[in-house]
Amino acid sequence: MAQLWGGRFQGEISELAWKFNASIYFDKRLIAQDVCGSKAHVKMLAKQGIITQKESKQIAEGLDSILQDVLDGKLEITDKYEDIHSFLESNLIDRIGDVGKKMHTGRSRNDQVALDMRLYIREEVRNTADLLYNMLKTLNKLMSENIHTYMPGFTHLQKAQPVTLAHHLGAYFEMFKRDSRRLENIYMLMNFCPLGSGALAGTTYPLDREFVAQQLDFFGPTKNSMDSVSDRDYLIEYLSALSIIMMHLSRFSEEVIIWNSNEYGFVTIDDAYSTGSSIMPQKKNPDIAELVRGKTGRVYGALNSLLVTMKGIPLAYDKDMQEDKEVSFDAIDTTKNCLILFTDMLSTMKFNKETMENSAIRGFTDATDAADYLVNKGVPFRDAHGIIGRLVLYCIDKEVGISDLELDELKKFSDKFDKDVYDAISLKTCVEKRLTVGAPGPEAMKNEIKGNVEFLDLFWTKTHSPLYPDCQDED
Ligand code: ARG
């Protein structure tokens, strides 16, 4: 055991307590952020004359060499250390001697870990945004290819009115677009640097917090040191954003599963994203979509877990907060994998356009337009609704569609029917006459797709601007 404390202890910690307390098993993921933050800290200490420039340089080089060795597999992060902070400090002292002992001047692990997590999450916010960008791009491409691919639109999972595939996918575009904006908001709120807050009450050293914040591409330092070491709001917001992304992916998965069923046959999932059965040779299952739907629960779980963890913690730092990491890391990995896989599955999926169109023709998706036809001929809407309702019942009995009936038969229900009805209720007319903003008509869709392209261009520029900086040393 190599801990950073011990002076005031006489006995040894129990082995079980040591393991229970340690976070090295999971916070080793923060090594790059810890190095990055520590380098900014010692650079500032030197600038303020608290340590010398030479010492600062020695510490920075020592840290870099430890990180490199870990990355190269030459140095193992073992559970001999309590956490990643202890691992780095102990190894630094081993490498550069007593100078290494100066690194932690004017710093506590409380503000250190608060910084590490912010740096880590900030990067993940951007990574998530990049994955959303790929998803949005895939969706918009499919939209532009399917402006005239007719399919039934559903309410209550019953056929309702005809739409197009472009329109249906456009709904998901909007959802993921909102998700990307949520990430942007999170970034704007969280991008402040907690380092320099000490354990809870700042320090008596003349630290330059603005300088550290600037070096690490933050907008500035956080305001209140007690809040700084105990704030996990940004993480809760991020987990909430991830939960909403998963909710969207899960709804989409559910649709893909339905569309892929034998009964629907709207889509064929590529072999690369489906699996078979050990007993039933004919099976080709949509496991990826099912797993995405299934994994949504664990991301919600992470959000709930952190909300519950935080609700009873008195100011400032308490060890409960260490519980923020495992659930968050799992939720981040899960959501990112789901986004990648779902986007890949979507871009390789085959849409069976004829089946979709035939499905839209059957099932009376033209009934509303038939009623609107009568309204245009002077029948009040409520009466038209009743007439078409009776007509549908008649058709169900005869096992035909409205447009299969001869004009004479139609006239038995209303003398307003004329031969132009067939064109008025054709699938093409039903869709193409819907031209209001947000509707499936081709002109409306083309405008939507154009707007999407503009959004994507702006989104790309923004997420790749200094607003979303990498965790890099400015040298
Ligand atoms: N492993 C701890 C965490 O993740 C680091 C902070 C420890 N601070 C302390 N006072 N023990 O929260």
Three-state DSSP string of 411-471: HCCCCCCCCCHHHHCCHHHHHHCCCCCCCCCHHHHHHHHHHHHHHHHHHHHHHCCCCCCCC
277, 283, 286, 290: CA torsion to nearest 10: -50
- 3-state secondary structure at position 154: strand
Q: Is 234 helix (H, G, I), strand (E, B) or coil?
A: helix
**Is the CB of 23 within 6 Å of ligand 1?**
yes
Task: State whether the beta carbon of 229 lies less than 6 angstroms from ligand 1.
Answer: no
Q: Which CATH code fits 109-190+206-358+450-462?
A: 1.20.200.10
Pairwise CA distance, residues 388 & 405, whole Å: 13
Taking the C-alpha atoms of residue 229 and residue 268, their distance in angstroms, rounded to an integer, is: 51
| Beta-strand pair 267-268/192-193 | unpaired
Tell me how far the alpha carbon of residue 309 lies from the centroid of ligand 1, in angstroms. Answer: 15
pLDDT of residue 391: 97
Whole-number Å distance between alpha carbons of 291 and 296:
8
109 lines ligand 1 (CB under 6 A): yes
Distance CA 179, CA 185 (A): 10
Say how far apart CA 20 and CA 166 lie, in whole Å. Answer: 53
Q: Is the CB of 322 under 6 A from ligand 1?
A: yes
For residue 325, the ligand 1 atom closest to its alpha carbon is 4
Q: Residue 213 has which token pair?
A: 């914040």
User: Would you state the structure tokens that stand for residue 470, as one six-digit string?
Assistant: 């990498």
Q: 367-425: which CATH topology?
A: Ribonucleotide Reductase Protein R1; domain 1 (1.10.40)
What homologous superfamily is domain 6-102 in, according to CATH?
A: Fumarase/aspartase (N-terminal domain) (1.10.275.10)
**Alpha-carbon gap, residue 447 to 438, rounded angstroms:** 9
Residue 109's identity, in one-letter code, is: R
Q: Are 196 and 226 in contact (CB under 8 A)?
A: no
pLDDT beneath 70: ranges in the chain: 1-2, 5, 465-475
Ligand 1: nearest atom to the Cα of 319: 12
Provide the 10 A C-beta neighbour count for residue 417: 23
Q: What is the pLDDT of residue 471?
A: 43
Element (H, E) at 308: helix 287-310
Tell the residue nearest (CA) to atom 2 of ligand 1: 322
Widest pairwise Cα distance in the chain: 102
Mutate to test the pocket of ligand 1, among 113, 116, 306, 313 (most ligand atoms within 8 A of CB): 113
Q: What's the CA angle centered on 206, arms 203 and 212, to 5 degrees?
A: 90
Closest-lying ligand 1 atom to the alpha carbon of residue 82:
1
- pLDDT for residue 465: 66
CB-ligand 1 contact for 83 (6 Å cutoff):
yes
110 lines ligand 1 (CB under 6 A): yes
Instruction: Please say if 261 is a catalytic residue.
Output: no
Give 39 Cα–ligand 1 centroid separation in angstroms.
19
Residue 4 confidence (pLDDT): 72
- 107/99 Cα distance (integer angstroms): 16
How many angstroms separate the CA atoms of 262 and 419, rounded? 37
CA 413: distance to chain centroid?
Answer: 52
* Residue 113 Cβ contacting ligand 1 at under 6 Å: yes
pTM of the model: 0.94
Question: What integer pLDDT is reported at residue 37 of this predicted model?
Answer: 98
Contact indicator for 203, 106 with CB cutoff of 8 Å: yes
| 416 backbone dihedrals φ, ψ, rounded to 5° | -75, -15
Give the list of residues 6+ apart from residue 48 with CB closer than 8 angstroms, or none: 205, 206, 207, 208
Choose among 344, 345, 351, 389: nearest CA to 367: 389
Q: How many angstroms separate the CA atoms of 461 and 458, rounded?
A: 5
How do the domains of the chain map onto residue ranges?
6-102, 109-190+206-358+450-462, 367-425
| Burial call 238-255: b when 16+ CB within 10 Å, e when fewer | bbbbbbbbbebbbebbeb
User: If you count them, how many residues does the chain have?
Assistant: 475
Give the ligand 1 atom nearest the CA of 85: 5
Confirm whether 148 is a catalytic residue: no
Measure CA of the first residue to CA of the last residue in the chain; give whole Å.
36
Q: Pairing mode, if any, of strands 192-193 and 220-221?
A: parallel
Asked whether the beta carbons of 139 and 167 are under 8 A apart, the reply is no
| Ligand 1 center from residue 475 Cα (angstroms) | 29
Catalytic residue among 156, 261, 278, 464: 156
CA 319 to centroid of ligand 1, rounded, Å: 6
Atom of ligand 1 nearest to the CA of 23: 1
Distance 44 CA to ligand 1 centre (A): 23
Cα 322 to middle of ligand 1, angstroms: 6
Identified catalytic residue from 277, 403, 414, 426: 277
Distance 4 CA to ligand 1 centre (A): 12
